[in-house]
């Protein structure tokens, strides 16, 4: 069995080290003897026949314009159908915004998303830059945010977690990110997965279940280094808040 990772717009939507999330997913699979195949899906590229985990990183407004256009129609509909069928997804910042209904930049027409998330994002006047710590169902998560977009979740959409340090979705409602089925959205760059191994393993397990059709229990790994990196990032976030 091979877990297929669909890296959406890896060449253009890949800022602030977001490719580290692909490395974390593939390495934690490899340490367990699980095969993965990462397929980069660019503008104009077809989707592979099966995608078990989507990753969609961050990018500036300019990149989002072309990507938004490419996602409209059959491509976005297929991604949405995959999420409904249980595929996993991690979307970060600009990618997160385009998994919602739309992102409204400062000086461009609103960019339509694919409505996986019942959410709308609007560029704000302030740029949120800094370390973020949130409390979530995967425990404490730590990352780094750099966005002017303010995301507001629809009433039925769960956030990824509650902000403890940082600004999160919009700096007002104390929420960060979103979760719909196995699709996660967040503003956590960093990259987020290497310092949050529980989240990485949850995505990996969801992707494997999508690939083989039954739930799996992943063997534990020696996460002392990940835990030390996590603790150091949380300490820095609290100290510099
Ligand atoms: N253009 C979006 C914003 O600034 C996303 C930026 C990013 O992906 N870091 O909110």
For the CA of 149, the nearest atom of ligand 1 = 10
Residue 160 near residue 134 (C-beta atoms within 8 A): yes
Q: What integer pLDDT is reported at residue 15 of this predicted model?
A: 83
Q: What integer pLDDT is reported at residue 107 of this predicted model?
A: 84
Is the C-beta atom of 115 inside 6 A of ligand 1?
no
Is the C-beta atom of 146 inside 6 A of ligand 1?
yes
Nearest alpha-carbon partner for 11 in 53, 45, 35: 45
Taking CA atoms only, the protein residue closest to ligand 1 atom 3 is 147
Q: What integer pLDDT is reported at residue 112 of this predicted model?
A: 98
CB contact set of 57 (below 8 Å; sequence gap of 6+): 8, 9, 10, 13, 14, 15, 18, 19, 21, 92, 93, 94, 95
Active site residue 186: no
Distance CA 198, CA 68 (A): 31
Q: What integer pLDDT is reported at residue 61 of this predicted model?
A: 86
The tens place of each residue's pLDDT in the chain, 241 residues long, gives 999 999 999 999 988 889 999 999 999 999 999 999 999 999 999 999 999 999 999 998 889 999 999 999 999 999 999 999 999 999 999 999 999 999 999 988 999 999 999 999 999 999 999 999 999 999 999 999 999 999 999 999 999 999 999 999 999 999 999 999 999 999 999 999 999 999 999 999 999 999 999 999 999 999 999 999 999 999 999 999 9
Reported pTM: 0.98
Q: What integer pLDDT is reported at residue 16 of this predicted model?
A: 84
């Amino acid at each position: 069995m091979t877990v297929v990772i669909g890296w959406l717009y890896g060449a253009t939507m890949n800022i602030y080290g977001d490719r580290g999330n692909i490395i974390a997913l593939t390495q934690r699979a490899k340490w367990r003897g699980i095969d993965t195949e990462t397929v980069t899906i660019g503008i104009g590229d077809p989707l592979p026949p099966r995608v078990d985990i989507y990753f969609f990183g961050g990018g500036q407004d300019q990149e989002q314009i072309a990507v938004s256009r490419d996602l409209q129609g059959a491509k976005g509909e297929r991604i949405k159908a995959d999420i409904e069928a249980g595929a996993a997804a991690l979307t970060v910042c600009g990618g997160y915004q385009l998994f919602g209904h739309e992102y409204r930049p400062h000086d461009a027409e609103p960019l339509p998303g694919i409505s996986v998330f019942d959410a709308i994002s609007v560029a704000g006047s302030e740029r949120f830059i800094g370390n973020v710590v949130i409390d979530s169902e995967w425990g404490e998560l730590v990352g780094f945010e750099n966005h002017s977009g303010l995301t507001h979740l629809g009433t039925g959409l769960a956030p990824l977690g509650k902000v403890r340090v940082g600004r999160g979705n919009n700096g007002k409602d104390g929420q960060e990110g979103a979760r719909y089925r196995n699709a996660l959205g967040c503003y956590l760059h960093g990259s987020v997965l290497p310092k949050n191994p529980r989240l990485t393993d949850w995505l990996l397990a969801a992707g494997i279940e999508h690939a083989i059709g039954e739930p799996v229990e992943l063997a534990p790994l020696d996460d002392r280094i990940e835990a030390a990196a996590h603790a150091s990032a949380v300490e820095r976030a609290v100290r510099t808040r």
